[in-house]
Structure 1
Amino acid sequence: MTVSSDTLHIVCPHCHTTNRVREADMRNAPDCGHCHQTLFDGQPAALDDTSFDKHIGRNHVPVLVDFWAPWCGPCRMMAPAYAQAAGLLEPQVRVAKLNTEEAQAMAARFNIRSIPTLALFVGGKEVARQAGAFRTAQDIADWTRSHL
């Protein structure tokens, strides 16, 4: 199966199925062909050890990941701004979160030393990283766009 140049692979944040979506349809709230939920709902996708690689490796849009933990004060402080940033960045960027307490092996694999840490992945490769909390959704969106 080949993917035409105007078709993108988008991994569903709900069931983690890879969908083919025409670029022209990205702004029209495309739904997952498997679970029928919207592919971009303006909320960060919750990733885990099993879904992380699929989202990073299969999405044809960049993926911004917040490595966080529930006990982390700065993580909790940044969470509302991060959720708002999803609304600013989607559908051009998939916004996701990875709980480092539940996915310790994944955090170790990416050498996460402090949280929160944001990492931007393009084409399956990390292209930018920022340790520490951002204050506003606009700051997160601006940082992300500056690395694309």
Structure 2
Amino acid sequence: MTNESHHIVCPQCRAINRVQPGRESQATCGKCKSKVFENQPLELVGPTFDRHIAKSTLPVLVDFYSPSCGPCLMMGPEFAKAAETLYPDVRLAKVDTSAEGAIASRFGIQAVPTLILFNGGREIARQSGAMGAKDLVNWTRSSL
């Protein structure tokens, strides 16, 4: 990582916050005073999805899942472990494809779970199928 500050979107009010590298765990939103970035997956919906993908300077790994999918349910805890390991270099997020069909359709999600890694607002890597935490971390790091 460089010494340049990161732009991180607040999960509560969606304000864009400038955060110095190494200060991610202490950062609070300048607008609503909520914690800006934690080491756990963030659930994204509609407008929050676009804001986080387009405005964050950190890479964002999104798990497109369905709550009725067995492999998705098995991968959920592994995704949370990967979030702890990848923190603070990558934000991990989840999108429920059954509730957010428009987002799933826009990205051509045909099978769940599907992982998409975004960087600078662009998709840079995609992987379908459940993975363990170690494989998630290795795949993410090798894709950056």
TM-score by length of 2: 0.93
The answer for the alignment partner of 2:136 in structure 1 is 140
**Unpaired runs of at least 5, structure 1:** none
The answer for the alignment partner of 1:58 in structure 2 is 55
Residues 94-124 of structure 1: per-residue CA shift (max 9 Å, x gap): 1000010111011000000100000000100
Residues 31-67 of structure 1: per-residue CA shift (max 9 Å, x gap): 2222322222211011001111100000000000000
C-alpha separation in 2, matches of 1:100 and 1:80: 18
Are the aligned partners of 2:8 and 2:37 in contact in 1 as well (CA < 8 Å)?
A: no
What amino acid maps onto 2:137 in structure 1? A
- 1:102-141 → structure 2 map (5 Å cutoff): 102-134=99-131, 136-141=132-137
C-alpha separation in 2, matches of 1:43 and 1:25: 16
What secondary structure is seen at the aligned counterpart in 1 of 2:23?
helix
Give the aligned CA root-mean-square deviation in angstroms: 1.3
Superposition misfits of 4+ residues, deviation over 3 angstroms: none
What secondary structure is seen at the aligned counterpart in 2 of 1:25?
coil
* Number of residue equivalences: 142
More displaced, 53-62 or 38-47? 38-47
TM-score by length of 1: 0.90
**Unpaired runs of at least 5, structure 2:** none
What amino acid maps onto 2:138 in structure 1? D
